[in-house]
Structure 1
Amino acid sequence: MRYLRALGALLACAALSVSCTDARAGSGAGAPGAPAELSAYERIVPAPARTAPGGPGYRLTAATVIRTTAGSREARGVGELLAAALRPATGLPLRVSGTDAAGAAGGVRLRLDPAAGAYGEEGYRLQADGEGVTVSAYRPAGLFRGAQTLRQLVPAEGAPVVAGGSVSDTPRFAYRGAMVDIARHFFTVAQVKRYVDQLALYKVNVLHLHLTDDQGWRLAVDSWPRLAEYGGASEVGGGPGGHWTKEEYRDLVRYAGERYMEVVPEIDMPGHTNAALASYAELNCSGVAPARYTGIKVGFSSLCVGKERTYEFVADVLREVAALTPGRWLHIGGDEAHSTPHDQYASFMARAQAAVGDTGKKVMAWHQLAGAEPVPGAVLQWWGTDKTKAAEKEQVAAAVRKGAKLVVSPADRSYLDIKYDAATKPGLSWPGYVPVERAYDWDPGTHLPGVPESAVLGVEAPLWTEVIATPAELDLMAFPRVIGVAELGWSPAAALDWDAYRLRLAAQGPVLTKLGIGFYRSPDVPWL
């Protein structure tokens, strides 16, 4: 396995005409033995494709200017976000200038380079020496990712000196996601924005929002107003719930987009729909609305598959959500529809997928869609475990052979609401415990039998909120595991080595502390 990982990384780096020496360094003998011994470039998370430390460093001062490519609004935006992130850490003014970074000397230069096409949409090159720091990229997203690496090269404590050296970097997978469930417990836009900022540092590029479930409907829909007004006024445990207005949702989408993070909204169906059923009696086959639900059981609710009114509802909701969302996908759930007979489930999902297509978006759904008939181009999200039956895994592999793509989110590896160990509070443990090592020590490209890496779009870390009710609990359960999942999505396969990663993760301790993140201090990590 280690040979195959190394070979894959060599091929990836060869495409950039760079050496992969540093991508492999952490996986063999000779890796540093303690986090304090790591150089600044060895502490970067996710691990870059290539690093070459050396030479004089650059000290940020009160005179340092961040210069961006002239005439580029996107580059200027990246510069402003970089300055805003570094000012509190350094205490420096860090003025941003739209002068041409290509011709300017000194300072920090953020350059869009038409000749850097080999770095693709998100790759970048960073060079630091005694004169300054230059980040170059082909696209603005790559410039933003490089700026996050620069943030990590500025020490969390002490003098703001960027060590001399270079980074050449591109992601392994195009999809590197994190999901927040705001349906079981309601979270505000401001609270989710905070999570977006935390995720962006580690090059996460997809924010999946689970907006509806049995316990609450969290997004206003003009054509069906009671969904949010009534269905949103509950949550697990009987709290007041809440919902986002359309403008609040738009604001979050803009905010994430400025950080080059695509939003994937999820409207779960035909199950996980009690909040909708309670809001509108006509969506029930009986014509009688159930009570709102505040427990955590699953699989008991279903839209009425036989009613045409149901499909009017589906089309209306998806049309409004699509109009608010510039991203490529609409996620239509499709999991745990235990109260929907299989033949009805298949016919419902066919019509729901058609409704997605009518909006101009692409279908995304949990992997149970493989038991129906995924439309061409559909993305399945795998959430099974090591113990999932082989027949279910083969069903997903068969859908992939027919053209479906896969996002990998195994519940016993990447679910962030699962306890680290028996002592963890809060959290669930239905798939077992997920310590920090288990969340990291697996390979998305080879995880599911019969699914080649070429069919894997990437990886996601979902955070369900049946028992997660506050930002502090979110911090504790997400960090540091979400960082490991982010690395699985970004870094070359040859760099995925727990013994090396745990040292780099340990070095992130002061960074997380400075960001105010109350993370879980795993005893398996030698935290600084």
Structure 2
Amino acid sequence: IVFLLTVSCGTKKIVVKDSEPVLSLIPIPAEIIYDRAVVSYFELTNTAEIFVEPENEEIKNVAEQLAEKLRTSTGCALKVSSSNGRTEKGNIYLKLINDNSSGDEGYKLSVTKDFVTLEASKPAGLFYGVQTLRQLFPNEIESGIIKKIPWRIRTISIKDFSRYKWRGAMLDVARHFFKVDDVKKYIDLLAFYKINKLHLHLSDDQGWRIEIKSWQNLTKIGGSTAVNGDPGGYYTQEDYKEIVKYAREKFITIIPEIDLPGHTNAALASYPELNCSGIAPKIYTGIEVGFSSLCIEKEITYKFIDNVIKELAAITPGEYIHIGGDEAKSTNEKDYIKFIERVEKIVKSHGKRMIGWEEISKANISSSSVSQFWDSPQHAIAAAKRGMKLILSPSTKIYLDMKYNESTPLGLFWAGYTDVKKSYSWDPETEIPGVINNNILGIEAPLWSETLKTIKDIEYMAFPRLAGAAEIAWSQKRLRQWENYRERLIIHSKRFDALGVNYYSSPEIK
């Protein structure tokens, strides 16, 4: 982090050690410049406005999201309009500029006593800059209640850009179903930490959660229950479109997953013809894995998959469909390889690229498909050798459903206990010997829901670990250091409180 210090012979730029946290920003920006000797502020007043340049719907949407956040906490009217090239004191300016030096997601934020200026080459950069700006305001900005306090920001200059283009989180809505509003709340939290992908695990042994109009029993039967016999549920295609639209407004792409050929008991229970025996098994409410498989030899299996992918692709604007592929213990390897190769062709035929869990690297598939590492370095290395890009989700580091410690009331521990330090103290470049940074698309933090029933359960297992995963994915490697992060997180936990997040209050951050 770079700071400007005022000294007797003038102002000069120095580099301060990363171990000295100055702000509680998460993820930490690439460069922060300010004058430590002179403390001054920009103060938001009742006359403040937000100006955009140029005026288009996407930029206005970003500005309106900032305005609404400030209106509900400050009581200021904060009209959003075009600047028409003007710069007047007391206002906030969002500008698109013809400078792509910080990439499509980068931004420059300048706070002076007179005004706040946020510049980026793309709307995504403005959006991520707004998330940083929110964190510079008092924590009360997140309360949604008007507070009569000084609404001011320290004068500062920030230049920031992303490390990885894939900064993901996964939510398992199959083991337990979460309603649209719960998913939206999770999206809000992801966006705040500059996460840009939400992978929805839509099917598993315990539940099928997305309407497929050509196979309606999938939701009628397969979506009827959950782990422990808890209530089931599913998203209509209109529900799913609503989630996709909401996420897009916050620059998050939805990645839908239909897990194949294993983890399919909900589908098999819905349609007897998908079983080799022709007999449908009972619906399943336990948490064991590896016992189910589609019938690889039956042609109806591929008609089913084609129909499902076709309907899902039609309502998914993003370029990827995730086909699972993990823990297919009831499918022999020869059949598994043949199956994955055929499914890749089906996904491509509907204009999408295939993502699968790491096991798909056993098949002879193209380098356009993406492998998601979770357990075996050998699978990751095999994928890299094929020229495939990798998403890193090491289960021992960022599986968010792993217990923090033995006394954690939720979660599992098959991959070990994962405290806040452990989940932060790893780096994608060095996680898998033989896999270099050029092979890595980014990282993703999965949250499986065997033990989770409510949004509060989701928050408890995700936070604060998800904030650390976001920093690993966004921030530059040279800036990341546990003690620095821990000190920032201690301060930042007050913002969790203001956001109303039911986070785990770890002794590591007290």
CA distance in 1, matches of 2:41, 2:189: 27
**Runs of 4+ with >6 A deviation:** 19-22
RMSD: 1.7
**Partner amino acid for 2:381?**
A
Instruction: Provide the rounded CA distance (Å) in 2 between the counterparts of 1:476 and 1:294.
Output: 23
Distance 2:371 2:74 in 1: 43
Instruction: Find 2:378's aligned residue among 391, 394, 408.
Output: 394
Match of 1:449 among 433, 439, 446: 433
What is the correspondence of 1:50-129 to structure 2 with a 5 Å cutoff? 50-54=31-35, 56-100=40-84, 102-106=85-89, 107-114=91-98, 116-129=99-112
Which amino acid is the alignment partner of residue 290 of structure 2? G
Q: 1:348 maps to what in 2?
A: 339
Residue type of the alignment partner of 1:25: K
Provide closer, same or farther for how the CA distance between residues 216 and 59 of structure 1 changes in structure 2, counting only shifts above 3 A.
same
Query: Is structure 2 residue 413 aligned with structure 1 residue 429?
Result: yes
1:484 aligned to which of 442, 459, 468: 468
Contact persistence 1:20–1:49 (CA under 8 A): no
Q: In the TM superposition, what are the counterparts of 1:104-503 in structure 2 within 5 Å? A: 104-106=87-89, 107-114=91-98, 116-157=99-140, 158-384=149-375, 392-503=376-487
Cα distance between partner residues in 2 of 1:205 and 1:20 = 33
Instruction: Find the aligned partners of 1:394 and 1:103 in 2 and give their Cα distance.
Output: 58
- SS for the counterpart of 2:429 is coil
Gaps of 5+ in 2: 3-11, 141-148
| C-alpha separation in 2, matches of 1:479 and 1:93 | 33
* Aligned residue in 1 for 2:5: none
Asked if the contact 1:412/1:431 (under 8 Å) is kept, the reply is yes
SS in structure 1 at match of 2:348: helix
Partner of 1:512: 496
Contact 2:358 2:379 in 1 (8 A): no
Q: Any conservation in 2 of the 1:374–1:399 contact (CA below 8 Å)? A: no
The residue type equivalent to 2:107 in the other structure is Y
Q: Contact 2:50–2:78 (CA<8 Å) still a contact in 1?
A: yes
Distance 1:445 1:226 in 2: 44
Deviation at 1:451, TM superposition (A): 0.5
- The CA distance in 2 between the partners of 1:240 and 1:52, in whole Å, is 52
**Can you list the C-alpha shifts for 1:184-237, whole angstroms capped at 9, x where unaligned?**
000001100001001111100001100000000000001111111211111001
Output the CA distance in 2 between the equivalents of 1:504 and 1:94. 30
Deviation readout 1:135-179 (Å, 9 max, x if unpaired): 100000011000100000001155211110111011010000011
What percentage of residue pairs aligned between the two structures are identical? Answer: 44
Q: What does the per-residue CA deviation read over 1:350-386, in whole Å, with 9 as the maximum and x for residues that have no partner?
A: 01111110111111010011122232211111111xx
Q: Which residue of 2 aligns with 1:47?
A: 28
Is the 2:367–2:389 contact (alpha carbons within 8 Å) kept by the matching residues of 1? no
User: What is the CA-CA distance between 1:461 and the residue it aligns to?
Assistant: 0.7
Alpha-carbon contact 2:176-2:449 (below 8 Å) kept: yes
* 1:267 Cα deviation after fit: 0.5
Q: How many pairs are equivalent? A: 489
- Distance, in Å, in 2 between the alignment partners of 1:450 and 1:192 is 36
Alignment check: 8 A CA contact 1:329 1:363 kept: yes
The residue identity in structure 2 corresponding to 1:79 is A
* Structure 1 residues 269 and 394: CA distance shift in structure 2, 3 A: same
CA distance in 2, matches of 1:228, 1:307: 22
* Cα distance change on mapping 1:21 and 1:447 into 2, 3 Å: farther
Other structure's SS at 1:347 match: helix
> What is the alpha-carbon distance in structure 1 between the residues aligned to residue 215 and residue 246 of structure 2?
26
CA deviation vs aligned residue, 1:437-489 (integer Å, no higher than 9, x gap): 00000001221111101111111111000011111111110000000000000
Distance across 1 between alignment mates of 2:355 and 2:166: 13
Q: Is the 8 A contact 2:323 2:356 kept in 1?
A: yes
Gaps in structure 1 of 5+ consecutive residues: 1-5, 10-18, 33-37, 385-391
What is the CA-CA distance between 1:20 and the residue it aligns to?
11
* Aligned-residue offset at 1:89: 3.2
